[in-house]
Structure 1
């Protein structure tokens, strides 16, 4: 998730200071990706180093304001136009956990899958409940519609993710069952083939020989 571009997007709406950026970022995303002030100021320092933001004076309370530069606006709009790169997907802890659990002595991978499935379904239910609340807020006009719509989109993406994760867990469990059955069949087939090979010489010895013809 690009904190860098998220801050640029907020700064395009006008100069802001660090804790204000943190509050607005979390409001826009529903605190899905909470930030700390240190993280915000570290990112601002890098943006300033790269010429994408510049100090914009102070507000009445003495907070140092930051403003987006022309180069920052160009960078932001190029980010909007550029598809998210999927050639190097982020590391997923669940995928790594299942990959490492396979074949590890003492680990019941089906139990791992079942525990994760329960947690995933609960998360999906929680997101669905929050989605209903966001929709109700939008329809009633109780809060800022822009932030509620942004939060709604984030929630729906999270719902789709958890639905896909639940399907993947079901698929993984089915895959493991099929592979286990295949391995068992191979294991039982080997002794049977070995038995047939050892029995062959005895059958050959027991086979009757053809009697020679008498000459007339």
Structure 2
């Protein structure tokens, strides 16, 4: 299915990702239940698992997943739950939203309660210190791997220098301002003022093909 999107530079056609035949709310709940019960290591591990599930079941492509990640960061509260709601909505409509939320929270709640009780029992044992430090290192590895996966598609373009410059500027701004609302507002303002800087290479190629 092709969708026309109007912009300041003319109409642009977007190809909607075809829905998988089994993308109903039961599948969404099963997938997110597996994520909630196996994605150890914090938010990065959960996001990486959601990314793999979205690509495997063809609910969305890489850039659409990054869009859900960005949108979830713009909302207050727990961003992972917001992203799960967005993915569930795209995969199976409104029932998918409730299925994704239930599947993600239910097993994680049970496992967390069990591990909390177990930690209170064994955390003073010397033999447990090593495995706990290993868990921390694993979580850090998930964060690095997720960052590289999300940036891989971005750095396939031809404007690597511009992307790195924007990244460095907003990293410095985040440390200097220390207010996420101001950082996000400045990013939105610059995106509206200089849209070509933030356009993806695929958007530029689509515009070139339409001009031809």
Higher relative contact order (CA 8 A, sep 6+): 2
TM tier relative to shorter chain = under 0.3
The structure whose residues are more often helix, as a share, is 2
Instruction: State the TM-score, normalized to the length of structure 2.
Output: 0.27
- Higher-Rg member (1/2): 1
